Amino acid sequence: MITLTINGLEVSVEEGTTILEAAEFLGFPIPTLCHMEGLTPYGACRLCVVEIGEGPGAKLVSSCTYRAEQGLKVRTSSARVMKARAMIIELLLASCPQSKIIQDLASKYEIRQQRFRQEYEDCILCGRCVRMCEEQMMAKAIGFRGRGQNRSIGTPFDIPSDVCRQCGGCIYVCPACTLRCTYTEPEKAICGGCANISPPCIQKDSFNDLMCYMDPCVACEIKKQ
Amino acid sequence: MDEQIIEKVVIEHRDSLGGILSILTEIQSKFGYLPQDALRQVAKKTDSSLTDIYAVATFYKAFSLKPRGKHLVSVCLGTACHVRGAPKIADEFSRQLGIKSGETTRDKEFSFETVNCLGACALGPTVVVDNHYFSHVTTAKVQHIIEQARKGFQQSDPRTDHRIFKIQVNCPVCNHTLMDNEHEIDGAASIKLAASSSGKKGTIRLSSLYGSSSTDSDGDFPKGNVISIFCPYCREELPSELICPECGANMAMMTAGKYATFHICSRYGCLGHMLDITSQTQDSLKEMKG
């Protein structure tokens, strides 16, 4: 057994346990996107960032991939962690503003504005679907392609894969496309269902009572394009 | 179609670490790009999923999934080349070829790409066409480079290149000349040698121009096999004492004038050769050149 301290509380865990699991055991909430029980930790979204160590040697690590060490001192919501996490959420928002899950996260961490160039990606490249397909469905029909800016997820050559059984597992686990805002189709839109309670954007005639807390309003921005 | 070629490539690299990269590199060098069928076969034969192979093939910029042209133009856009005006050169190439970076002309003659550094920063702006480097390229030179590439970069002409000279060789055992005036290679008398390998016999002829690797043979020797090389007159095997610096096989020796010995690698197809000058006097050099 390994004993470590999380936010001042001592906890003993089995060897090989990750910090995330230990923190969950104690009940400290750590937000995650790419983490999923049953899939190998991947450390792609960086949302689960925590601070380990003390003084000048303290550093930020992703708790889903970091294994617990004897005597490790972990802080899950220090000022440094919160600042880093807020930045990560802002970046995620910039790439994938339509995701309800990311919008809720932003709301929860009181992020009302993101300062980056807005993109309307469908994917945050968290790799959940890739791991689902490989590890749980044993199919390996989809994977990462390209690199850098051109990195994407999909089947080889963008043609239907012959090993895909169309189980839908990839869609089921996707944090970016489940409960997706679909502004262009008002009846399907989920804006207004998010955790935000501040006054919504008022310029949306065709969207009636839909709310969007984002500034600038995502729906309005898309309409302009 | 290419099934056998791909199978051979896969078997060759199956056991090596990082085999996928070697396999893909070799397939690309054989076909000029990575055909879809080839990737499917590689996946099947290496027992890995197509997804993984495709991920590797799309990750590296060196691999191309689209057929490429006969000539590949790479314009360096690294920092040093960039500040010296490489973007203008890239624009000029793109204008003259009528394609954007990463594309191939419709007649399949040229592919044009920009790269991030060619490691020749001091020579910038650098352009590489079919492995030929061009330094200090200006927009005015672009047209010339394209024309040159279209004509093909010829190997140096042995008759006009001053670095290439003629040698005369004799058998070190019987001292009979090995020159064959009746059979010419590169427009000069050839060196005639007898050869044998696992029961097969034949004659090989080498160019007598030092620096040219032209050969001619009537024996059917498998490439890569070590063959025995004999004097065609006294039938003695040419003595060997040196090891080929290229492949490690024994070398066969001939005498070239009084002061030098000429060595060739005994591995069929290996171009290893060496002129060993025992006493480097002006006389011996003159004798050889004359």
Q: Are A143 and B59 an interchain contact pair (Cβ–Cβ within 8 Å)? A: no
Summarize the confidence of residues B87-91 as an average pLDDT. 93
Question: Structure tokens of A108?
Answer: 């929860």
Phi, psi of A136 (to 5 degrees): -100, -35
B49 shares contact with chain A (CB less than 8 Å): yes
Query: H or E element: which one contains B20?
Result: helix B19-31
pLDDT at position A199: 45
List the one residue out of B232, B234, B239 whose CA is nearest residue B266. Answer: B239
CA distance linking residue B150 with residue B144, whole number of Å: 10
Same structural domain, A66 and A108: no
pLDDT at position B154: 61
* Higher per-residue confidence, B151 vs A140: A140
Q: In this structure, what CATH number is given to the domain that contains residue A72?
A: 3.10.20.740
Same structural domain, A71 and A168: no
pLDDT at position A217: 56
List the one residue out of B196, B240, B247 whose CA is nearest residue B218. Answer: B196
B116 shares contact with chain A (CB less than 8 Å): no
Same structural domain, A141 and A71: no
pLDDT at position A15: 92
Question: Tens digits of per-residue pLDDT, B264-277?
Answer: 888 887 777 888 77
Question: Structure tokens of A158?
Answer: 């963008």
Domains of chain B by start residue, with CATH: 3-59 (no CATH), 71-151 (3.40.30.10), 165-289 (no CATH)
Interface mutation target, options A147, A152, A153, A158, chain B, most CBs of B under 10 Å: A147
Same structural domain, A201 and A107: yes
List the one residue out of A17, A21, A22, A26 whose CA is nearest residue A67. Answer: A17
Question: Tens digits of per-residue pLDDT, B184-198?
Answer: 887 778 888 888 887
Residue B174 has pLDDT above 50, yes or no: yes
Which residue is listed with tokens 């060619």? B118
Summarize the confidence of residues B147-152 as an average pLDDT. 83
Same structural domain, A110 and A22: no
pLDDT at position A222: 52
Same structural domain, A29 and A54: yes
Q: Which residues in chain A are closer than 8 Å to B51, comparing Cβ atoms? A: 140-143, 155-156, 161
Same structural domain, A146 and A42: no
Instruction: Compute the C-alpha angle A168/A171/A173, nearest 5°.
Output: 110
B52 shares contact with chain A (CB less than 8 Å): yes
pLDDT at position A194: 41
Q: Which domain holds residue A112?
A: 83-120+177-224
Same structural domain, A190 and A163: no
Q: Which residues in chain A are closer than 8 Å to B59, comparing Cβ atoms? A: 146-147
pLDDT at position B1: 54
pLDDT at position B10: 80
CA distance linking residue A19 with residue B229, whole number of Å: 71
Residue B46 has pLDDT above 70, yes or no: yes
Q: In this structure, what CATH number is given to the domain that contains residue A167?
A: 3.30.70.20
Which residue is listed with tokens 């993101």? A114
CA distance linking residue B65 with residue B36, whole number of Å: 8
CA distance linking residue B110 with residue B70, whole number of Å: 6
Question: Structure tokens of B179?
Answer: 């020159």
Residue B254 has pLDDT above 90, yes or no: no
Coil, helix or strand at residue A181? coil
A146 residue type, one letter: G
Q: Are A156 and B59 an interchain contact pair (Cβ–Cβ within 8 Å)? A: no
User: How many percent of chain A have pLDDT more than 90?
Assistant: 45
Same structural domain, A93 and A185: yes
Total count of domains within chain A: 3
Residue of B nearest to A164 (CA): B51
Same structural domain, A164 and A182: no
User: How many percent of chain B have pLDDT more than 90?
Assistant: 17
Question: Tens digits of per-residue pLDDT, A78-108?
Answer: 999 999 999 999 999 888 877 778 888 888 8
Q: Which residues pair with B71 in a beta bridge?
A: B110
Beta-carbon contacts of A2 under 8 Å, excluding residues fewer than 6 positions away, are A12, A13, A14, A15, A17, A68, A69, A70
B59 shares contact with chain A (CB less than 8 Å): yes
pLDDT at position A209: 45
Across chain A, which has 225 residues, the per-10-residue mean pLDDT values are 92 93 93 92 93 92 94 93 94 82 84 81 87 92 90 88 82 70 45 42 47 52 54
pLDDT at position A96: 82
Residue B168 has pLDDT above 90, yes or no: no
Same structural domain, A209 and A112: yes
List Cβ<8 Å contacts ≥24 apart for B38-41: B38/B2, B38/B6, B39/A156, B41/B3, B41/B6, B41/B7, B41/B10
What interface predicted TM-score (ipTM) does this complex get? 0.75
Same structural domain, A145 and A212: no
pLDDT at position B194: 87
Phi, psi of B48 (to 5 degrees): -120, 170
CA distance linking residue B65 with residue B35, whole number of Å: 6
Summarize the confidence of residues B255-267 as an average pLDDT. 83
pLDDT at position B126: 93
